[in-house]
Structures are given as structure tokens and as C-alpha cells.
């Protein structure tokens, strides 16, 4: 009897609890409904900003983890998400290079051909010419032979227009082979300074063959098929970050890092502590980090980043790049605005067809909104209208959109800064003598004021290219500020980030000079 009573009481209590819980939810829901769309959107914004936060201690953990992952990737292929590819480049240009050299840059929907006359330490780059050639769409979907035949044909046409002013001081005659630096920005497994096996066609190229073949041989064979003059020798095979590093090093040997912040993110640097199986005479080699692949549990990722990743063509890959690259920033903003529109009716009853379209907001449009400092945020209103068909917006709505842009860019810029500092840490140039970052474990975090700054420090220059860095002013400012926060004062004074616009093309031709068979000169 007592037992039955107890059971009855328990079930009554449970029923009451359920009713109370439902009532609480209804009350919260009603309360939420009473809030304006802007207030509701602010709650979502607050949550997003919280998940995106990059306070100094998080950035430090990321840069330390980066240095550790760099070492792990060097120690063992596959040892880290950073593939740390050896480039076989040991000699970097020093300004003494002389002669006429070519470059060919393939890695997107256009390719570039370039010739450059180098006049040695005094005259430097005497003259250069280049041409940009769009790749016809059908060739991006055909065979590798068709693609390379087209490239060879256009390269030859360009070479045949070589004027006599390019022969000044270099004793070249028409019959001589021209040497060339090939910048090839698809994944390759490099086997020597001028050979590399294609791993995969990417960036919209759906070519049926070519994978597993040496790209230099494919180009060389296409040149041979054209017969007659001119002929080429590919002196170096590189990627665009290496070209940027070499182009910078030609002018200043403090350039130790080449970085590209454009659609994606990548960097290379001069490694002086090579693993046993990669040895060079000088003990140094340029390493291509494939930085975009970096992964760390410290990365501030939101549910929006996870969705973007899941729906991308390469889920689970390129985690760092998806938080930083120009290709993704506008898309992250679009996804958050869509969430605000659906969950908080931020834009009222407008149709969301455009806002639902992936990648419709490109980063240059986002940066226009972000740069809007008019009191009424007129540009923000215009971009919302032009891109998303969202006509009339109130100022508070435009303010929220502005803060969304700021949040996404700030995170990106500060993470890029942590990447740079991670590289400096790896090469012992971050200015702190208490942690080298390669010892295998993370050091406990301390305030900068409690740490020991390294007294003597060499100047380090980062040669930087890419439209995101070049054109997005607030990105640049945030990045610079975060680099300064992370470094010791002494190291911050010794670090220079230098825009090296389109430096990779000239850099590739100068690297070809540096590795010319015609003349050998001393380099460092």
C-alpha cells in the first residue's frame, strides 16, 4: 500500500516537473519573441564573437603549436598536418645574378609568362616584360597533353617577341636555350630542384591524366613537339611562396619567409635545422609548409566554420586556410547573416534567395562594407542591396553587419599573425630565449613581462604577396597589431613584413638565374 502511494507521489512529482519545464520554455520563448530582431541578432552575434575570440593566450598557444607541428612534419612525412615539403632550394639569389631568364607561372585560370634581364649587383633588374594568358575552359577539362601544348605554344609566341634590348650584356644568340623558372601551384611531390610528380589536379582543373607524371617533363615534351627555336631548360620548379621568398631575398638577405595571403594561405621559409634524411651543403633549405593545412585544437572554430568545412569540396582538410583565406571570409559572413535572417528575422520579411547562395558574397565586397566609416554606413546598405537584394535596412541592422565583417576579419588576421610568429619561433627569431618551440611539449604560458627576451636578434623580413593582404586594409592593421602583441618588443622592432607585389614571377626567373647551367656564381 505504502509502496503504491510512493509510486503515485513520484509520478505526480514527475508530471509537475514536466509541466514546469514546459512552462519555463514557453516563458523564455515568449520573452525572446518580445525582443526586436536586432536584439535577437545581437545574441547570435555575441555567441559567434565569443567562439571566434583570439585573446593573446590563445594566439600564443597556436603559434607554439605551429612551431611544434612544423618540427613534427619535418621529422616524419605525415607526422603533422603541415606537410613541410622540401623544395631542394638551397641557394637563394643575392643580387649578383646576370643574364636573360624566363618564368612561367601556372596555378589558376590564367598563366603568366615573363622575361627578365638581370644586370648584376649594380644594374639589378634591367628590364622585364610579362604577359597574362587566360586558359580556355575546355583545356581545363581535357588532357594534360592538350593543356601543355597550349602553354608551350603561347610561351613560344612570347619568346619569339624577345627584343634585342634583352640581349644587352649577356652574349645570347638566337640558337641558345633559354633557362626558365617554373612556378606550378598544384600539389606536387618534388624529387629534385627541377622535377616534381603531380599529385592531383585542383582549382577547377578536371584533367583526365597527368597525375603521377613529372610536370617538367610534360612541359619539356610539349616544347619539343613544337620543334625549332626557341627551346628551354627548366632550371627550377617551385611554388608561388618560394618565388616570393626568392624575389625578396634578391634585394635583401634578411628575407627568410615568403608568404601568400590571397584566396588561400601558404608560406615557406629557410630552415637551418634539417632532419638527417634531407641534407644540403650549407645545412639550409627552403621548406614549403603548406600552411593552410595546419590544424590545432586551439583554433577558434564556430559551428558555422564546421558547416562550411562539411559542405566544402575537401572536408576535414585545410582547416587553417578556411579560417584565414580570402576565398572563405565573405562566405563565413554570408552564413552568419543567413542564420541571423532565419533565426532572428534580422532583415524582416525579405526573400532570402540570394542570401542562401553559397559564395555569393566575395571578400572584396565584404572588405568594402568593413571599410565603410560613413555615419550611416551607406556602403554597407549598398552592398546588402547589390549582393543580397536586401533593399531597405535600418542603421542598427547595418551596424550588426559591419560588426560581423569586423569579427571574421579580426580572427583571420590574428590567426595569420600567430602563423608568422610560429615560423619565427621555429627559426629562433621570435625574441624569447625561454622557449624554442621545438622541444616536443608546450611550455606553460606566462605574461610577456615574466619572460626573458633574447638580447641579440637578427632582422627578419617576411616577403608577402596576395590580394587579401594587399587590398584589405583592416586585415593588415589587425595582423600587424597581433604580431606586435605576440613578439617581444625587441623582436617586433626587428620584424618587417614587406609587400612583394607579384614578386613570385620575377622571383622564379631570378631563381632560374641562380641555378643556371650557363654560369655558376657564389650564393648564400
Q: Which parts of this chain interact with Mg ion (CB under 5 A)?
A: 262
Rounded-to-10 torsion of CA 76, 82, 84, 85: 100
Give yes or no for a contact between 426 and 84, defined as CB atoms under 8 angstroms apart: no
Number of CB atoms found within 10 A of residue 510's CB: 30
Q: What is the DSSP string of 313-354?
A: SSTTS-HHHHHH-HHHHHHHHHHHHHHHHHHH-TTTT---TT
| 286 strand-pairing partners | 270
Q: Residue 182 CB, nearest distance to Mg ion (Å)?
A: 15
Other residues' Cβ atoms within 10 Å of the Cβ of residue 433: 14
Cβ closer to Mg ion: 262 or 437?
A: 262
Three-class SS of residue 360? coil
Nearer to Mg ion, 210 or 262 (CB): 262
**Residue 178, strand partner residues:** 232
The entry of Mg ion, ligand ADP, none near residue 151 (CB within 5 to 8 angstroms by kind) is none
Q: Which is nearer to ligand ADP, 329 or 377 (CB)?
A: 329
Which residue blocks in 345-394 are alpha helix, DSSP H? 363-370, 378-388
Q: In whole angstroms, give the CA distance from residue 258 to residue 510.
A: 15
- Report the nearest approach of ligand ADP to the CB of residue 97 (Å): 25
Q: Which CB, 119 or 364, lies closer to ligand ADP?
A: 364
Question: Which among Mg ion, ligand ADP, none contacts residue 419 (Cβ within 5 to 8 A by kind)?
Answer: none
Cβ-based nearer residue to ligand ADP, 395 or 499 = 499
Shortest Å, Cβ 265 to ligand ADP: 9
Question: How is residue 292 annotated by DSSP?
Answer: G
CB of 501 to Mg ion, least distance (A): 11
Rounded to the nearest whole angstrom, what is the least distance from the CB of residue 202 to Mg ion in the complex?
14
Question: Minimal distance in Å, beta carbon 464 to ligand ADP?
Answer: 10
Nearest residue relative to ligand ADP (C-beta): 262
327 or 355: CB nearest ligand ADP:
327
Q: Which is nearer to ligand ADP, 194 or 239 (CB)?
A: 239
Reading the block at residue 330, the C-alpha cell is: 565573405
Closest by Cα among 99, 103, 95, 96 to 118: 99
Whose Cβ is closer to ligand ADP: residue 230's or residue 262's?
262
128 binds, among ligand ADP, Mg ion, none (CB under 5 to 8 A by kind): none
DSSP helix/strand/coil, 516: coil
Cβ at position 367, least distance to ligand ADP in Å: 4
Q: Are 284 and 269 in contact (CB under 8 A)?
A: no
Least separation in angstroms between residue 405's CB and ligand ADP is 11
CB of 473 to ligand ADP, least distance (A): 8
What SS3 string covers 436-494? CCCCCCCCCCCCHHHCCECCCCCCEEEEEECHHHHHCHHHHHHHHHHHHHHCCHHHHHH
Please state, in angstroms and rounded to a whole number, the distance separating the CA atoms of residues 385 and 473: 23
Which triple of cell numbers denotes residue 235?
A: 632550371
Grid cell at residue 523: 650564393
Give 111 or 251: the residue with its C-beta nearer to ligand ADP.
111
Q: Which does 505 bind (CB under 5 to 8 A by kind): ligand ADP, Mg ion, none?
A: none
Q: Which residue is nearest to Mg ion (CB)?
A: 262
Nearest to 261, CA basis, from 82, 413, 427, 50:
413
Q: Which does 126 bind (CB under 5 to 8 A by kind): Mg ion, ligand ADP, none?
A: none
Partner in contact with 244, chosen from ligand ADP, Mg ion, none, beta carbon below 5 to 8 Å by kind: none
Binding-site partner at residue 467 among ligand ADP, Mg ion, none, CB < 5 to 8 Å by type? ligand ADP
The answer to whether the CB of 196 falls within 8 A of the CB of 180 is no
Residue 263, binding choice from Mg ion, ligand ADP, none, Cβ under 5 to 8 Å by partner class: ligand ADP
| Closest separation in Å from C-beta 268 to ligand ADP | 15
Question: Which residues of this chain interact with ligand ADP, rule CB under 6 A?
Answer: 108, 262-264, 326-327, 362-364, 367, 466-468, 471-472
Inter-CA distances, 523 with 252, 253, 464, 518, Å: 13, 11, 22, 15
Binding partner of 327, given ligand ADP, Mg ion, none, CB within 5-8 angstroms per partner class: ligand ADP
* Shortest Å distance, C-beta 207 to Mg ion: 20
Instruction: Tell me the C-alpha distance between 463 and 400, whole Å.
Output: 35
Q: Which of Mg ion, ligand ADP, none has residue 521 at its interface (CB below 5 to 8 Å by kind)?
A: none
CB burial of residue 490 (10 Å; 0-12, 13-18, 19+): middle
Residue 363 interacting entry, from Mg ion, ligand ADP, none, C-beta within 5 to 8 Å by type: ligand ADP
Compare residues 262 and 428 and give the one whose CB is closer to Mg ion: 262
Select 233 or 382, whichever has its Cβ closest to ligand ADP. 382
Amino acid at each position: 500500500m505504502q509502496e503504491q502511494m510512493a509510486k503515485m507521489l513520484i509520478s505526480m512529482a514527475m508530471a509537475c516537473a514536466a509541466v514546469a519545464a514546459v512552462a519555463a520554455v514557453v516563458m523564455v520563448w515568449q520573452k525572446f519573441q518580445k525582443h526586436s530582431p536586432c536584439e535577437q541578432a545581437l545574441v547570435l552575434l555575441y555567441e559567434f564573437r565569443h567562439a571566434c575570440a583570439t585573446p593573446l593566450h590563445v594566439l600564443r598557444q597556436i603559434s607554439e603549436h605551429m612551431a611544434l607541428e612544423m618540427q613534427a612534419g619535418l621529422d616524419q612525412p605525415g607526422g603533422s598536418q603541415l606537410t613541410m615539403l622540401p623544395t631542394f632550394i638551397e641557394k637563394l639569389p643575392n643580387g649578383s645574378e646576370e643574364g636573360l631568364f624566363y618564368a612561367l607561372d601556372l596555378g589558376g585560370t590564367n598563366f603568366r609568362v615573363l622575361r627578365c634581364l638581370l644586370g648584376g649587383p649594380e644594374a639589378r633588374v634591367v628590364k622585364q616584360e610579362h604577359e597574362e594568358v587566360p586558359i580556355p575552359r575546355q583545356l581545363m577539362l581535357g588532357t594534360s597533353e592538350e593543356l601543355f601544348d597550349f602553354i608551350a605554344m603561347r610561351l613560344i609566341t612570347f619568346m619569339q617577341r624577345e627584343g634585342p634590348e634583352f640581349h644587352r650584356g649577356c652574349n645570347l644568340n638566337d640558337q641558345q636555350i633559354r633557362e626558365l623558372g617554373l612556378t606550378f601551384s598544384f600539389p606536387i611531390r618534388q624529387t629534385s630542384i627541377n622535377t616534381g610528380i603531380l599529385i592531383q589536379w585542383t582549382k577547377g582543373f578536371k584533367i583526365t591524366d597527368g597525375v603521377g607524371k613529372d610536370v617538367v617533363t610534360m612541359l619539356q615534351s610539349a616544347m619539343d613537339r613544337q620543334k625549332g627555336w626557341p627551346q628551354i631548360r627548366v632550371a627550377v620548379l617551385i611554388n608561388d611562396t618560394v618565388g616570393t621568398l626568392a624575389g625578396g631575398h634578391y634585394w635583401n638577405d634578411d628575407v627568410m619567409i615568403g608568404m601568400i595571403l590571397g584566396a588561400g594561405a601558404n608560406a615557406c621559409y629557410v630552415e637551418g635545422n634539417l632532419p638527417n634524411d634531407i641534407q644540403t651543403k650549407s645545412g639550409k633549405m627552403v621548406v614549403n609548409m603548406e600552411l593552410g593545412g595546419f590544424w590545432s585544437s586551439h583554433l577558434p572554430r564556430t559551428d558555422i566554420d564546421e558547416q562550411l568545412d562539411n559542405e566544402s569540396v575537401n572536408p576535414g582538410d585545410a582547416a587553417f586556410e578556411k579560417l584565414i583565406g580570402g576565398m572563405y571570409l565573405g562566405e563565413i559572413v554570408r552564413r552568419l547573416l543567413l542564420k541571423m535572417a532565419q533565426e532572428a528575422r534580422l532583415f524582416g520579411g525579405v526573400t532570402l534567395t540570394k542570401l542562401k547562395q553559397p559564395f555569393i558574397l566575395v571578400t572584396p565586397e565584404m572588405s568594402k562594407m568593413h571599410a565603410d566609416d560613413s555615419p550611416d554606413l551607406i556602403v554597407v546598405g549598398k552592398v546588402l542591396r547589390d549582393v543580397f537584394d536586401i533593399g531597405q535596412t535600418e542603421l542598427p541592422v547595418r551596424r550588426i553587419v559591419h560588426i560581423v565583417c569586423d569579427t571574421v576579419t579580426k580572427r583571420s588576421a590574428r590567426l595569420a599573425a600567430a602563423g608568422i610568429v610560429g615560423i619565427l619561433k621555429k627559426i629562433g627569431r621570435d625574441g624569447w630565449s625561454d622557449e624554442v618551440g621545438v622541444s616536443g611539449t608546450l611550455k606553460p604560458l606566462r605574461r610577456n613581462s615574466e619572460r626573458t627576451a633574447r638580447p641579440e636578434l637578427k632582422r627578419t623580413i617576411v616577403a608577402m604577396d596576395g590580394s587579401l593582404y594587399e587590398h584589405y586594409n583592416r586585415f593588415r592593421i589587425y595582423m600587424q597589431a597581433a604580431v606586435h602583441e605576440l613578439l617581444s618588443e625587441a623582436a617586433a622592432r626587428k620584424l618587417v613584413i614587406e609587400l612583394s607585389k607579384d614578386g613570385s614571377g620575377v622571383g622564379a626567373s631570378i631563381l632560374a638565374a641562380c641555378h643556371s647551367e650557363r654560369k655558376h656564381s657564389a650564393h648564400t
